[in-house]
Amino acid sequence: MEISVKKVLLINGDISCSSVLDREAAFRDTMKISYNEILEWEQADYSSETILNYLRTNNVDVIVAFDTEILENAAKALKEYEDQYPPQLTELYGVGSSSKVIRYLENDNIVSIVVQDDYSMGYLGVRDAINAINGREEKERTEIAFKIVDHEHMYSEENQRLLFPFVR
C-alpha cells in the first residue's frame, strides 16, 4: 500500500501569543509521526497578497493557521488563487470564529476550524479574577471546551451556539 505524502504549510503566527505558540508546538509534535512534509513559513507580513504570492511559487496540499487574522488572510488568498488557477485541491484548516472565518467556512474555502467556547472563557476568567481579588487563587489549570467544526455540521444546534453566540 502506497502512502500519500502531502506538503503541509504551517503559517507561523504571533510569537507574542502563548496560545498560538502552544498550538503550533502541539501540531509539530503530532505531525512528527506522519509521513507528510511540513513546511514552516514565518513572515513579518501575513497579508492575503503575501500569502497569495507564496501559493503562486510553492506547491502545497494543506495550509494550517492557528492565528485568526492569518486564517482569514489565508482563506482570502486561497480563494483568489483557486479562482486564478482552477482546479486546486489545497485544503485550509485553522483556529478562529470571526465573522470572516465563518463566512469562508460556509463557502467551503476552509475545510474545518477549531472553535473555543468563548462564553465559558469569559465566565471562567471573571470567576478566577473574583477569586484572586478575594484571595482564593486557584492553582489548577482549567480546560476550555472546544469543537472542530466543518461546513457540513456548522449549523447543528451545538455548533451554532459556538459560532453565533449572540444570535438566538
What CATH code is carried by the domain that includes residue 89? 3.40.50.2300
81-109 average pLDDT score: 89
- Distances, alpha carbon 63 to alpha carbons 27, 55, 123, 167, in Å: 12, 10, 32, 30
In a domain, 34, yes or no: yes
Does 165 fall in a domain? no
> What is the extent of the structural domain holding 55?
7-115
The answer to whether position 158 is within a domain reads: no
Q: What is the pTM of this model?
A: 0.81
Q: What is the pLDDT of residues 14-61, one digit of tens each?
A: 777 777 888 888 889 888 888 899 998 888 788 999 999 999 999 899
134, part of any domain: no
pLDDT of 97 strictly over 90: no
**Residue 1, in any domain of the structure:** no
- Predicted confidence at residue 119, as pLDDT, reads 64
Beta bridge partners of 41: 11
pLDDT of residue 154: 82
- As for how many domains the chain has, the answer is 1
Is residue 70, in this structure, part of any structural domain at all? yes
